[in-house]
Structure 1
C-alpha cells in the first residue's frame, strides 16, 4: 500500500462523500474508490477510515446540538421568570435530542414521599399529566432512593414495586422502556426525577443517560433557584412584617409614653377620673367608660361609650378574671357585646373600686395597649382613693352637721349656723328637708351624688338618707333631689316636708317626712316625689298621742266586723274599704276585689247584719268610712 497513491481529485471526492451523508454514503464511497487504481486491501482500509471519520463527524454534530441546547437552557436559567414554562422547555429539548417517544419530569415531595408529574412532552393521555406516584412505587422511587439513574427495557417485567394505578397509567400511555435520572440540588437533596420513555422495548445507551442527566441537572437548578427565590421572598416578607411590627410597637410605646406622662400629670395636679377617661380614649381612639364600685357611670369619653346595663355573662366573667389577676381582659370575639371589647377592674389590694370599659376602635389592642389600660386603671384607683378620702372626710363633717341639726341636742343654733357656713352653706338656706327612700346598698353612692352640689346638705340620720336644700317648694325640692339620685340608683321615693322657719324646726320636719315615707309604700306609692302636706291626715293618725282613743273609735263603729274577720279569717273590712272607695257600687267593688258581684252582695248582707242597715247612710256612712280608713292606717303604723 505504500506504493499506492490517490490523486487529489479522488481524495476530494471521498471527502465530499463523507461530508455529504454523515450517517451513510457507503455506496458513494465505494464508487469513488472503484474509480481509483487502489488495490482491494487499500480500498477497504480507506473505506474504514472514512466511515470512522463519518462517525466522529456525526458525534461532533450531536455534541454540538446538545451543547447548544444546554447553553440555551443555561441562558434561560439566568433569566428565570416562569418556572413551569422553563421546565416545560427543558423537557421539550431533552425530548428532541434524546429522541425517545415520551419525556416527562416529576417533582418529589419529601413530606409525603411522593412524586407528582409537572411537565411532559409526547404524552397522549391527560391522566398521565396528573399522575402522582405514591411512596416506594415504581422506577421513580428507586431513583429517589439510590439517587442514581435507573432504567428498564420493559417496565412491566422490571423488578420494582408495582401498583395497579401506576401500571394502568403507564399502560394507558403505551410506555414500555423507561429511563429515570435524579434531579439533585447541590449534591444533597433529590428534587425530582426526569424520565425518558419509549413505546417499545429498548436499552438506553450511556450517552442518552448522560444527556438526560445533564438536563436533569439543569432542571434541578431551576427548581432549587425557584425554591431559593421563594424563600428569599418569604424572608423579605417576614422581614417587612417584622419591620412593620417593630414600627407599630415603637409607635405604641411612644403613644404609651405620652399617655403615662399625661396620667402622671393628672395625679400630680389632683385631677379626676374624667381626665383619665379622656386621655385613654384619645390615645386608643376608642370609647372609654369608668364605673364606680357599684358599677354606676362616673365618666365616659368617645362616641358610643360602653353602657353598663344588660351585660352578658362574658363581661361579668371578664371582670371577675380581671379582679383575680389584676390584668386587663380582652373579650373573645363572638362573646363580646358590640360596645365593650376590653375590661379592667379598678382596685386596690383589698377592694374593687370600680371598672374601666373600653369599646371597639381602629387601634389594635396589643401588649402595649393592654398595659396602658392597666396603668390607667391603677391611676384611676389612686385618684379614687384620694377622692374617697376627701369625700369621706367632707361627708363625715357634713353628716355630723345633719345629725346635730335633726337630733334633740343642746347644740346652739349659732354654733350650728357657724358650722354650716364653714361648709359653704348659708344656714338660712336650709329651709326644706327631703327624705329619700334608697336601698341600703345604693345609699353610699346616692350620698356621693347629693354631695356634689355644694349648696345642699346631705347625710344619714337614724338609717335614713336626708337632704336639706334652699328650694322653698317642697314638691320641686323632692323632684329635683329624686332626679339627682334616681339616675344612679333607679327607683327612689323622695318625700319633702314644708319649709322650716328656723333650724330648730328641722327635727319635727324630719319626723313628719320619715313617717310619710314609711306610710306611702303601703298606699301603693313606692317611687316618686311628693310633699307631706297632702298626707297630713295620715300623719296625724300615725303621730296621735291617744292611740287608745282611736282604737275605741274604730271598735265602736266597725268592731263587730273586725271581730268577725278575726274569728273566721274573712276580710269584710277590705270589702267595706273597696265598696266605699267605689262610691257604693257593688259591681265596681267586685271588679276591684277581683271577685264576683254576688260575692260582694253576700258580704254586704253579712255587714248589714253586723252593723245594721243604716251604716251606708248619712253621717254614719262618713264615720264608718273614717273608721275603716283609720283601721287600715293604724294597721300600717303597727307594721312600721
Structure 2
C-alpha cells in the first residue's frame, strides 16, 4: 500500500522549495523530511522530486528575469537613432544579458561577402577590433551562411567551419575558447552576427542560445530601422542640396542670357528633348547632335568616336562642357546629360559662326540640365503608359469576361478601338531589352494601336490589314532599338475581342516552334507556319498519340538503352535515305548506320521503308524532334 505523506509536511516542503533563498530552502527541506516519520526511501523520493521542482522554478524565475531584461533592452535600443551609438549599446546590453567574458558584433558586407568586427566589449588584444573574416571562413561565416546560431565549446578543436590563420591568431591573442554566434536578420537581409565568447571551455545551454537569438532579432530590426532613417536623412539632405544648387544655377543662367528664357519657355510650352537641341542649335548658330545613353543618335546610329566617348565621361564627372577639335580643325563641345549619377545621354555641339565663350558654355550646360529634366519626365510618362497598357492587354487577353468588357471601354477611352484590330504581333527579345522593345513597337504601331508587355512577350495590336507587313514593321523598329536577336510573329485578327486571346496563343505557339526550325531573327506570320502552330497549339494532344503509334518502339528502345536510333533515323531521312550520306552527317562509320537501320527494321517491321509508311515515319520523326525542342505547349 502506498505511503501517505501528511498535507502539512507537503505544504511546508513546497513553501521552503519555492522560497527565494536557495541555500536556506535546501536546509529547511532536509530538516522537514528528517523530522517527518517517513520511511527512508519515501523521504529520499520526496526530496528528489522537491529538488527537481525547485530547480525548475528557479529556471523559470531566471528566464522571466532574462525576458524582462531582453524587452527592456529592446525598448532602450529603439530610442537610439545614431548607428554607431546603437551598435555600442547593443553589444553592451548583450554582454550584460549573457554574462560572457567577451561580446562583439561583426558587420556583414554583401558586396565582398566578408564580415568585419565592428564593436567589441571585454576585449584586450588590439588585433581583435576591426578583424576581417573572409567569405566562407570561421564560425562567423557559418552563422551568416546558415542564418542560424552556431557555437563551439573549444575553438581550437572546432571542425564544423574552416579555420583562417589570421582569425586563429586574433582568437588566440584574445584567449577565447568557447564562442556562440547568432545572426542579425532583418527580413531576408543578413546584417551581421552577434557573438558571446568565454576564455574558458563552456557548453552553451539552450536557454543561452535562445536568449541571445531573441535579443539579436530585436536588435536587427532596430539596427535596420536606424540605418534606413540615417540613409533617409542623408538622402534628404543631398536632395535639398542638389535642388538648392540647381535653383541657384537656373536663376543665374536666366539672368545671364535671353537664350535661357527661350529654353524655359520651350519647356513650359510642352517641348521635348529634341526641341531643346534644335533651339540650342539655332541660338548658338551651330549643329547640335543629341545622343542617348548608349551614345547613339536619334536615328539609332552608334557613335564610335573614342574622343567623344572620353569627353562624355569627363563631362559626366565634372558637369561641365568639354572641348574637342574635329579632324577638320573645328571646335566641338560635348556636355553630358545626367540626372544624379545616371547618364541619360549627351549633347554634341559642332561650332558654327558663333564662338563658344563662357556664356555659350553656360547655355549648353543649362540646355543639358533641361534635357535631363525632360527625359526624366518622358521616361516617367512612358513608364506609366507602359504599365497601363500592360494591364489593359492583360485584361483584354484574360479568359474572364468580367475583365474583358471593361477593358474594351478603357481602351476606347485611350483612343484604341479594339474592334479595328486586324493584326496581332508578338515579339520575342531579351528581358533586359524588353522595355526598349515596347517603346519601339509603340512608335511603330502609332496612337491607334495598343502595345504592351504580356507574359514575357511584347504584344502589339494594330489596324494593319496584312499581318506580314505589321510583323515586319514592328520587327524593324525593335531591331533598330535593341539590335539583333528579335523574332516577330504576326497573326490575322477579325477585331473580335473573343478571338484576341486565341490569336495571341497561336503566335506564341509559333514563337516556341521557330527556334527549333532555326529561326532566331526575323518577321513571320502564323499562316506561314500553320502546320506547326496547329500541331503545337494549346490543348492539342493528338501529336503525341500519332508519334507513339508510328515510331513508339524506336522511342522506347532509345529511352530504355540510351541509344540514338531516332537521331539516326532523322539524319537518314534528311539525307535522302542514303546510308553513306547519313554516316558522313553523323560522323559515323557506314556499318554503324546500317546496324542501327537493321535495329529499326526489327522494331518497325520489314516494310517500314515503303513510300507511304516512310512518309508517316518522316512526319513522326520531325514532330518528335520539334516537340523536344519546343517543350510542353
Q: TM-score range by the shorter chain?
A: 0.5 to 0.7
User: What is the distance in 2 between the residues matched to 1:533 and 1:425?
Assistant: 26
- Partner of 1:376 in structure 2? 367
Q: Compared with structure 1, are the counterparts of its residues 309 and 521 closer, same or farther at alpha carbon in structure 2 (3 Å cutoff)?
A: same
**What displacement does 1:288 show?**
2.6
Q: Secondary structure at the match of 2:492?
A: coil
Match for residue 489 of structure 2?
A: 495
User: Is the 1:296–1:488 Cα contact (8 Å) retained in structure 2?
Assistant: no
Deviates more, 1:596-605 or 1:351-360: 596-605
State the distance in 2 between where 1:362 and 1:575 align: 73
Contact conserved, 2:333 with 2:349, CA < 8 A, in 1? yes
Structure 1 counterpart of 2:523: 529
Name which of 507, 518, 522 aligns with 1:513: 507
2:263 corresponds to 1:263: yes
Report how far residue 422 of structure 1 moved: 1.2
Task: Give the superposition deviation at 1:466.
Answer: 0.4
Describe how 1:323-402 pairs up with structure 2 within 5 A.
Answer: 323-331=316-324, 341-349=332-340, 351-359=342-350, 365=356, 367-402=358-393
Q: Distance in 2 between matches of 1:350 and 1:616?
A: 69
The 1:578/1:358 distance shift into structure 2, 3 A limit, reads farther
Deviation track 1:320-367 (CA, whole Å, cap 9, x = no partner) reads 333333233335778xx9999543332212533233234576765554
CA contact (8 A) 2:263 2:276 kept: yes
Query: The residue matched to 1:472 in structure 2 has which SS?
Result: coil
Tell me if the contact between 2:315 and 2:334 (Cα under 8 Å) persists in the aligned partners. Answer: yes
Greater shift after overlay, 628-637 or 391-400?
391-400
- Residue 480 (structure 1) aligned with residue 473 (structure 2): yes
Q: Report Cα offsets for 1:404-433 as digits up to 9, x if no partner.
A: 111223336553332222111223212321
Matched residue SS, 1:467:
strand
In 2, Cα distance between equivalents of 1:612 and 1:339: 82
Aligned equivalent of 1:321: 314
Residue 554 (structure 1) aligned with residue 547 (structure 2): yes
The answer (yes or no) to whether the contact 1:500–1:509 under 8 Å persists in 2 is no
Aligned length: 378
Contact 2:331 2:351 in 1 (8 A): yes
TM-score under structure 1 length normalisation: 0.52
Are the counterparts in 2 of residues 346 and 380 from structure 1 also a CA contact under 8 Å? yes
Give the Å deviation of 1:380. Answer: 0.8
Q: How does 1:206-355 map to 2 (within 5 A)?
A: 257-298=257-298, 308-309=301-302, 311=304, 313-331=306-324, 341-349=332-340, 351-355=342-346
Tell me, in whole angstroms, the C-alpha distance in 1 between the residues paired with 2:611 and 2:331: 67
Unaligned stretches of 5+ residues in structure 2: 1-252
Q: Quick one: distance in 2 between partners of 1:480 and 1:313?
A: 33
Root-mean-square deviation (CA), in Å?
3.6
Deviation, structure 1 residue 488: 1.8
Q: Report deviation, 1:635.
A: 0.8
Cα deviation for residue 598 of structure 1 reads 7.0
Native 8 Å contact 2:551 2:604 kept in 1: yes
Cα displacement string for residues 518-548 of structure 1 (whole angstroms, at most 9, x for unaligned residues): 221221111111111232332333336464x
Distance 1:537 1:298 in 2: 41
Quote the Cα distance in structure 2 between the aligned partners of 1:490 and 1:591: 37
Given the superposition, is the C-alpha separation of residues 342 and 562 from structure 1 closer, same or farther in structure 2, using an over 3 Å criterion?
farther
Alignment map for 1:401-440 (pairs within 5 Å): 401-411=392-402, 414-440=405-431
Alignment partner, residue 450 of structure 1? 441
Over 3 Å counting, the alpha-carbon distance change for 1:396 and 1:544 in structure 2 is closer
CA 1:521–1:328 in 2, change beyond 3 Å: closer, same or farther?
Answer: farther
> Residues 297 and 521 from structure 1, CA distance in 2 versus in 1: closer, same or farther, beyond 3 angstroms?
farther
Aligned CA distance change for structure 1 residues 354 and 333 (closer, same or farther; 3 Å):
closer
**1:108-161 Cα distance to aligned partner (Å, 9 max, x none):** xxxxxxxxxxxxxxxxxxxxxxxxxxxxxxxxxxxxxxxxxxxxxxxxxxxxxx
Larger radius of gyration: 1
TM-score (normalised: structure 2): 0.53
Contact 2:295–2:303, Cα closer than 8 Å, also in 1? no
How far residue 585 of structure 1 moved from its aligned partner, in angstroms, is 4.1
In the TM superposition, residue 594 of structure 1 has moved relative to its aligned partner by 6.6
**Match among 530, 536, 545 for residue 542 of structure 1:** 536
Unpaired segments ≥5 residues, structure 1? 1-252, 300-306
Q: Distance in 2 between matches of 1:623 and 1:321?
A: 67
Q: Secondary structure at 2:464's aligned position in 1?
A: coil
1:542–1:633 Cα contact (<8 Å) kept: no
Query: CA–CA distance in 2 between the matches of 1:384 and 1:317?
Result: 22
8 A Cα contact 1:512 1:539, kept in partner: yes
